[in-house]
Structure 1
Amino acid sequence: MTALHEAVALGDYDLVHDILKKGQCDPNDKDIDWNDKTPVHWAAGKGQSETVKLLVEHGARLCLRNDVGWTPAHFAAESGRLAMLRTLHALHAPIDSRDLYGDTPMRIAQVYGHKDCVKFLENAEVECRDYRLAAELKGIELDHTDEDWELKQEELLKSKPCPRKKDTKKCTKEGDSPIP
């Protein structure tokens, strides 16, 4: 865990600011000891909107995923952080991404009973897709893909049995989820 991860996990905005200002840590560093969580994952789960904005100002990517494909929006949804979901949406974070098991942040909010988050995400997911489509039509590239996680996911799909297929056939297409 980097000093930046620790400062965010502790909720110390001033320390986060100092670390970023000095360039001491990469705001996109994934902590392998904590399931590839980035500082933004920590801040999103704790509802630290101002810290997320500060991290983004210093180059943090909102599309990065942990080892099972959770984005910052998944962590915000899990903990019922409606204000954080609004912040992520305003920053054009991909809030409709599916994790390794096919769950979106809205599904995570449903599982944890965060009805206000579910209601918000119902509309926000549509707006997120519309924004992505409009950007594509205009030739604007969005930062919505975590290339490292995509490679890991591809390897998992190749190596794990697929529950939707008989015996030991591997998952090979989008929507197939491996058994963990």
Structure 2
Amino acid sequence: LSFDEGDTLYILDMSNTDWWKAKCGNNTGLIPSNYVDQNTEAIDYPLHEASKRGNITFMRECISNNVSVNGLDKAGSTPLHWAAHGGHLDCIQLLLGSNCQVNVQNKLGDTPLHSAAWKNHAEAVKLLIQKGARVDIKNNEGRLPLELTKDPECAALIKQAVAPRNSYSNDYGDEEDSD
């Protein structure tokens, strides 16, 4: 496998101690393991890093190279936690469209909705709720997403999701039978 300085390598198999199977762009091949050890900078959580920074191009590359959209970093957070924290709507949409789990709690008990609410990202809150984010999950401090936001729009969106979704009256069911 040939590559240039600055190219991103995805290590696929490290079972052979001398030669690792890697992917660069659309090419897959073997590279000397000692070369990679000495001359590269590892990114332990590439999809998380891209999500934090709103780097949609790198996120797409990671996903196309089978980096897990549900992987956990050291804090137990998923890429969706970080995209929500940053309010990166395009990143949130990409992750949700890639079958990521929307209600994962990190080590603090926060879900991506907690992160978006805490950072007052109303559009992110709206998108997460539309995609099934639960508003009733408490974090380790016993706090709901509603309790973390200071933004009136975020609060209204969360309160609306708490209200019964099918609250309509059945005109025919209110009357007693006259038999």
Identity of aligned residues (%): 24
Instruction: Please state which structure has a larger fraction of its residues in strand.
Output: 2
Give structure 1 regions of 4+ aligned residues with deviation exceeding 4 angstroms: none
Aligned to 2:80: 40
The reply to whether residue 115 of structure 1 matches residue 152 of structure 2 is yes
Corresponding residue SS for 1:118: helix
Corresponding residue SS for 1:123: helix
Matched residue type, 1:71: T
The reply to whether residue 86 of structure 1 matches residue 130 of structure 2 is no
The reply to whether residue 125 of structure 1 matches residue 162 of structure 2 is yes
Task: For 2:123 and 2:97, locate their aligned partners in 1 and report how far apart those are by CA, in whole Å.
Answer: 19
1:160-171 aligned at under 5 Å gives the runs none
- TM-fit CA distance, 1:22: 1.9
Matched residue type, 2:72: K
1:12-91 aligned at under 5 Å gives the runs 12-23=55-66, 25-32=67-74, 35-91=75-131
* CA RMSD in angstroms, aligned pairs only: 1.6
Deviation by residue 1:137-166 (Cα, 9 ceiling, x = unmatched)? xxxxxxxxxxxxxxxxxxxxxxxxxxxxxx
- The structure with the largest alpha-carbon Rg is 2
Deviation by residue 1:90-118 (Cα, 9 ceiling, x = unmatched)? 11121321112211100011xxx222211
Task: For 1:64 and 1:55, locate their aligned partners in 2 and report how far apart those are by CA, in whole Å.
Answer: 13
Per the normalisation by structure 1, the TM-score is 0.64
- TM-fit CA distance, 1:9: 1.1
- TM-fit CA distance, 1:119: 2.0
Runs of at least 5 residues in structure 1 that lack an aligned partner in the other structure: 132-180
Task: For 2:111 and 2:50, locate their aligned partners in 1 and report how far apart those are by CA, in whole Å.
Answer: 20
Aligned to 2:135: 95
Task: For 1:96 and 1:86, locate their aligned partners in 2 and report how far apart those are by CA, in whole Å.
Answer: 15
Q: Is the 8 A contact 1:41 1:71 kept in 2?
A: yes
Per the normalisation by structure 2, the TM-score is 0.64
Matched residue type, 1:12: N
Instruction: Please state which structure has a larger fraction of its residues in helix.
Output: 1
Aligned length: 123
Matched residue type, 1:16: M
Matched residue type, 2:140: L
Matched residue type, 1:13: I
Task: For 2:57 and 2:162, locate their aligned partners in 1 and report how far apart those are by CA, in whole Å.
Answer: 33
Corresponding residue SS for 2:140: coil
Give the structure, 1 or 2, with the largest relative contact order (CA under 8 Å, sep 6 or more). 1
Task: For 1:98 and 1:82, locate their aligned partners in 2 and report how far apart those are by CA, in whole Å.
Answer: 19
Matched residue type, 2:153: D
